[in-house]
Structure 1
């Protein structure tokens, strides 16, 4: 009988080095796994996601967003349903309070979640949009990509190819996904996994979803919604051959990556020009300050440096910005992004965008004169 070890040998490779994350309501742990047997020992049927890079031999490589070997392109199709979201929040609250006990209330909520998911066909639009992209892949490469129902309200699509090293994997994948979104007018393709390597994680096939109680399962282009749900409720590990889904996408990715490299160089030139113009403006401002008798000069700080001086180590450090839990509201997840010129919190009703001056005024409750003196003392002009 076909088993998980055989499946993982095909799906991830006989010998592989990948980064996996165990995510539960009470902890997030990461593992570097090198074989199917080790992965199965870690699974225990719950709370495991994986990412899709091959080379993760060190913490530095694992956290890097550049120059990574990739062997598949991943797309996440997901929808939003307020009723399911409310049930999920109740289940998570129970799991956090009683992480080792399955309560009757939790089981009833899981059954409610399943009933809505199946009867109301909540995941139908993501599944159908993933199938539309899959048909395009078939028309282009002659094979279908891998389709996986997530076990909840969305599905994943994998386009496998021979491993290729990309210098700008995030931007390269973002361009591809934006093209598909525009071409098909997609409404459920989640942009986060396209932009951010750390968000590019998906549930491992044949693992149980902790909220729905259903399983992540592979499905075919001809499977209807009812068939997919039946597979997810009563999963059976089916024979799988990666070769039946292999594309030569790797021949095209370096060309897109090179295009991204040229875009980055152009963006750098534009930033350098903007910085030069900004320095000229700042110099004029400093000259005006001296003329009206202000006691000293300061340089305008990079907001990212200012944030690290005040808020400490960021939650995440990306190429153009860093993130923090917003200090201006009760923030469980990092919602403040700090760029060169501003701080931005996207939470409705919070501060929105702040420049360095207004951030200091609000954070320390300073008057303008106090902000000026703070800048002169901490960021004096060289």
Structure 2
């Protein structure tokens, strides 16, 4: 117990203000999902009660005070790290997880033998079929390149399933728009180093991001989230996860001046976004080029009418997030961003307006889209003058 508390103290600090969450698949929820955690001991106790039965997640960033956390004031959050997620998309894993989570929704003891069988299948895919190897190898490659530039490796953690996490630590710093800075950095890492498993959806919403707690047990695989280094091979990492012991951790070993690099990106990207917003001419023509056609006034309202309520809403921002409706990728983390004028998916890179959405989603031509739109609710549309 003391070893894990010491680890949390080094990793999160002696006092911190974050939310611990244990989202559940249960249909009938009879317990709280979110708690406030402020000390390593408090976090340890929550982890001890929930690890293995529920996902054990925590806010990546510190809110700075209990009041900020309670009121969810993101402007005063303490940014002292960047969290990157490397995750493999695997159809077989997706299929098993879907069945397992469906069984879990009825309780941990519902068809327990089948749940255990599915868990063993998942473990076998990870431990013997090595499905997480690509994500781990790419994370190692990123770590080596990061050290070449900034002098120290990021802290790497196996996620307990089919991916891994990388944390870079730096001096607590303020940013105008951390999302823009981290997104730009991650997109360029993905492009420059051909990182197929780097999940860009994680970086698009950095301030609301939850991350899996080190040394928690994955709720579906029973594998533990453990640290690893670039010299560890895949089998070494799996052995650590199957038989974990708490390793010493010192943030100083991973502390860099990466924040200075991010601040420069932050200034440039914030300026570019402002210029783009100011210079963008108002488009009052309909989106298919015809001034007589009724266009969508607000894509957020439009997508709510066809996809339902967003997975995430941000009252102080101009966009909402959905799980991607296209079937090109596994989108358990919402990456389909909808703003007033259109949409963009950070997972499959599909983008456009309502017109393009119907063409891609239903395989329609322009004439087919026009006919389909006539059937939609009138309140979604507004004529352009």
Report the CA distance between 1:362 and its aligned residue. 3.0
Q: Give the 3 Å change call, closer, same or farther, for CA 194–220 of structure 1 in structure 2.
A: same
Contact 2:285 2:384 survives alignment (8 Å)? no
130, 140, 154: which one aligns with 1:131:
140
- 2:240 aligns to what SS in structure 1? helix
- 1:20 aligns to what SS in structure 2? strand
Matches of 1:142 and 1:359 in 2, distance apart? Answer: 57
Counterpart in the other structure of 2:116: 107
Matching of residue 363 in structure 1 with residue 376 in structure 2: yes
Query: Unpaired runs of 5+ in structure 2?
Result: 326-331, 343-352
Matches of 2:209 and 2:17 in 1, distance apart? Answer: 16
Matches of 1:167 and 1:119 in 2, distance apart? Answer: 45
Please list, as runs of the form range in 1=range in 2, the aligned pairs for 1:57-206 lying within 5 A after superposition: 57-58=68-69, 60-61=71-72, 64=74, 68-100=77-109, 103-197=112-206, 200-206=209-215
Counterpart in the other structure of 1:208: 217
Counterpart in the other structure of 2:347: none
- 2:22 aligns to what SS in structure 1? strand
Matches of 1:346 and 1:235 in 2, distance apart? Answer: 49
Please list, as runs of the form range in 1=range in 2, the aligned pairs for 1:183-332 lying within 5 A after superposition: 183-197=192-206, 200-271=209-280, 273=281, 275=282, 278-279=283-284, 301-304=297-300, 314-317=310-313, 319-323=317-321
Q: Give the 3 Å change call, closer, same or farther, for CA 305–85 of structure 1 in structure 2.
A: closer
TM-score by length of 1: 0.78
Counterpart in the other structure of 1:55: 63
Q: Give the 3 Å change call, closer, same or farther, for CA 3–226 of structure 1 in structure 2.
A: same
Which range moved further: 313-322 or 169-178?
313-322
- 1:3 aligns to what SS in structure 2? helix
Query: Unpaired runs of 5+ in structure 1?
Result: 290-297, 365-370
Counterpart in the other structure of 2:44: 40
Contact 1:192 1:200 survives alignment (8 Å)? no
Counterpart in the other structure of 1:368: none
Contact 1:67 1:168 survives alignment (8 Å)? no
- 1:322 aligns to what SS in structure 2? strand
Aligned length: 354
Contact 1:68 1:167 survives alignment (8 Å)? no
Counterpart in the other structure of 2:34: 30
Counterpart in the other structure of 1:19: 19
Contact 1:193 1:199 survives alignment (8 Å)? no
Report the CA distance between 1:248 and its aligned residue. 1.3
- 1:75 aligns to what SS in structure 2? strand
Contact 2:224 2:241 survives alignment (8 Å)? yes
Could you report, residue by residue, the CA deviation over 1:26-81 in whole angstroms, capped at 9, with x for unpaired residues?
2682333211111122222242112312226245536x5x6743111111001022
Report the CA distance between 1:162 and its aligned residue. 1.1
Matches of 2:170 and 2:309 in 1, distance apart? Answer: 37
Q: Give the 3 Å change call, closer, same or farther, for CA 280–75 of structure 1 in structure 2.
A: closer
Larger Rg: 1
Q: Give the 3 Å change call, closer, same or farther, for CA 102–160 of structure 1 in structure 2.
A: farther
Contact 1:345 1:352 survives alignment (8 Å)? no
Q: Give the 3 Å change call, closer, same or farther, for CA 190–137 of structure 1 in structure 2.
A: same
